[in-house]
Amino acid sequence: MKNIYGSNKIEHYVLNNGVEIPAVAFGTYKAADGKSADVIRAAIGAGYRYFDTASFYGTETYLAEAIRESGIPRREFFIASKLWKDEMGYENVKSAFERTLNNLRTDYLDLYLIHWPLPEPGYKEWRQLDKETWRAMEELYEAGKIRAIGLSNFLPHHIENILKDCRVRPAVDQIEYHPGYSQEAVVNYCRERGILVQAWSPIGRSRVLDEPLVKELAAKYDVSPAQICLKFAVQRNIIPLPKSSSGDRMRENLDLYSFELEQDDIWRLSTMPQTGWSGEHPDRARAVI
């Protein structure tokens, strides 16, 4: 990691291939539900430069529009996208990647991820499909079209399948992570292998924000419950991907270095009863929560 702002503020991490990645991103899932780039435009104004999108989100074109209108050079942004379940497979990856580049109006990506390890629950040939998908991504990486490649929603047995014979090791794994669902086995597995963990749904929905422990800690540190959740990721060197349509909340979600969680409080958050889980699991049908 690269410490820019003193003893406790991390501005960038360094991936296992030497690429620097910002320590906080803006998640664009549902950020263009109003069929406009307004929310993403506001996020740029709030100071975000790392944006996480995906072909499934339908936000790539709006992100491109907001970046173009900002007047800020492309090189100052870190753009990540993901290929969807029906875009897996060697040939499909190549065409999906070109669509994403066209949507984003760029000639390279900073990070490209496989969105899910299985195209559908119970898919028997996922090991071979993942290997073929990864081989295509390796070729795009080696051609200089992607600065780093990685995974999303992969559990240790999925990642191990990739690591057995890959040429390029995954740089990140993006998982659901928040108090009440911190997936410690995945986090520890990735850390031991130099894979940076990213947290989608880092605030964990209103159920987590209303948890007595989270509210207690928000009062203790004089911050919002959302900031407690985000700090829970940041302080463990996990990149949170918060999203918001409110400019004030966007700025608040970047203000994570004016306080430090005590170790006891991190342990308490890590051992909260399960709450706020989305119901998503890569090997099973979505649970009704």
Q: Which residue ranges are tagged as binding site for substrate?
A: 115
Collapsing DSSP states into helix, strand and coil, what is residue 110?
coil
Q: How far apart are CA 233 and CA 250, in angstroms?
A: 17
**Angle at alpha carbon of residue 61, lines to 173 and 23, rounded to 5°:** 35
> Which residue is catalytic, options 57, 112, 141, 189?
57
Q: How far apart are CA 48 and CA 78, in angstroms?
A: 10
- Please state, in angstroms and as integers, the Cα–Cα distance from residue 115 to each residue in 189, 247, 269, following that order: 19, 28, 27
Binding residues, by number, are 115
Q: How far apart are CA 29 and CA 11, in angstroms?
A: 23
CA-nearest of 158, 172, 232, 246 to 202 is 232
**Angle at alpha carbon of residue 178, lines to 173 and 180, rounded to 5°:** 125
Respond yes or no: is residue 177 known to be catalytic: no
Q: How far apart are CA 161 and CA 138, in angstroms?
A: 15
The residue type found at 49 is: R
- For the residues of 52-76, what is the DSSP string, one character each? E--GGGT-HHHHHHHHHHHT--GGG
Tokens of 90: 């060697």
Q: Would you please indicate which residues are annotated as catalytic (active-site) residues?
A: 57
